[in-house]
Structure 1
Amino acid sequence: MKKIIPFLILVLIMIYTFFLTSWIGSYLMLKENWKEFVVFTPQSVTDRNDIYLLDQWIYAFNVRPVPSYTFIVSLFLVISISIYYLRKRKRKQKAKKDI
């Protein structure tokens, strides 16, 4: 039980910073010179609602790097911890099978 609580806190941090980064990136549509900030969206796009999500994320990384990096680090940790425990569980099942 002690191992699950930090993992759940980490998942909550990841979810919160994911939505925070998405929210920050959505402000790109409100800028008058939004075409200067886009990388992957074609320059022929005229409607602000057609800006690619990836460009919004890049904008969020440039404007507010702390929540964005926190999301990346927490995502990496959640994936790493999940892989570690899945491998550990698989080894235990294999050891039981060998006996």
Structure 2
Amino acid sequence: MSTSHTRIWVGIDAGKGHHWAVAVDADGETLFSTKVINDEAQILNLIATAREKADEVRWAVDISGRASTLLLALLITHGQQVVYVPGRTVNRMSGAYR
């Protein structure tokens, strides 16, 4: 595995049919931004892509309900560290980081 970062963060905007994932490094630089269909194979590919970029990946998901169930199950099954970010926080931060 060729890693260029010690740690990256992947934020996921979870949806019923698809998710949007954005990875950033410690300097806030975007490493990738991609649409991921809510499908096991595509989510596993996302996990693999993120793990190739860094030794440690931290995941933040904006929904903890049915839309993110498969995503969260696969992240946890593969030993990934996941936090829930409430919608209010996402809304406020999007205004600060236009």
Q: TM-score range by the shorter chain?
A: under 0.3
Larger Rg: 1
Greater strand share, structure number: 2
The structure with higher relative contact order (CA 8 Å, sep 6+) is 1
Provide TM-score, normalisation by structure 2: 0.23
Greater helix share, structure number: 1
